[in-house]
Amino acid sequence: MTSRFWFLTYNLILLPLLSGIVKILASYNSKINESIEKRKGLWERLEEAVSKRDWQKPLIWFHVASAGELLQAQPLIVRCIAEGAECAVTYSSVNAYHWLQRPDQTETQNLLVTEFLPVDKIYNVRRLLGLLQPSRLVWVSYDLWPNLVWETYRQGIPQSLVSGIIHAGSLRTSFFAGRSFYHSLYECLEQILTVSEADSQRVLSAIPDHPQV
């Protein structure tokens, strides 16, 4: 189902380009630099966290971009834990890391994993999926990492997008290339739940035949 064209374009051109840009920006942006530094040792931390897993329970994995998306996900996380699942949270921004360190964050104290998402290289993705072995991956709002989306789909693990947002004029839906690229991502998601009808219509402009938008 994954477009081979976009898989190759992303891994051979877009991902190396984005990685280079991030390294340059890290020299000027303290938050980006901190997020790179905080990723050091993440595999050891992940392995230690997963060693405490109850394998009799399903694991629901949530990915958020930053603190705002984490707040959106909290009610769903609390509900999943109350119904007997274990939950893991990965994030992209150092803001989410700092939010989780706050002593008043009692809602997230029962999470099995809270960690930065490793760089979206295919070997990282396969290693992470093999380590977590989630029952479902839930993306919150917009921060889809292509290799993780594609590989999770290839391994038959259900995925959902919740609180989905696509701003008017977004490159994701305003141009043919953006729609084509995001079609290859959206088709891997079982459900796409948006915050408004306008967002739903923008998703459907990229994938008109998706059954659950």
Has residue 211 been placed in a domain? no
The pLDDT value given to residue 182: 92
Q: Read off the pTM.
A: 0.94
Provide the β-strand partners of residue 115: 90
Positions of the chain with pLDDT lower than 50, given as ranges: none
Has residue 213 been placed in a domain? no
Number of domains in the chain: 1
Residue 126 lies in domain: 4-48+57-206
Has residue 37 been placed in a domain? yes
Q: Quick one: 127 exposed, middle or buried, by C-beta within 10 A (0-12, 13-18, 19+)? A: middle
The pLDDT value given to residue 40: 93
Has residue 172 been placed in a domain? yes
The pLDDT value given to residue 2: 55
The pLDDT value given to residue 20: 92
The pLDDT value given to residue 172: 81
160 phi and psi angles, rounded to 5 deg: -135, 150
Has residue 117 been placed in a domain? yes
> Does the annotation count 83 as an active-site position?
no
Mention every residue, 6+ apart, whose C-beta is less than 8 A from residue 26: 32, 33, 36
Among candidate residues 37, 47, 48, 69, the one labeled active-site is 69
Has residue 156 been placed in a domain? yes
138 phi and psi angles, rounded to 5 deg: -115, 115
Has residue 212 been placed in a domain? no
**What's 13's domain CATH number?**
3.40.50.11720
DSSP 114: E
Compute how many other C-beta atoms are within 10 angstroms of the C-beta atom of residue 34. Answer: 16
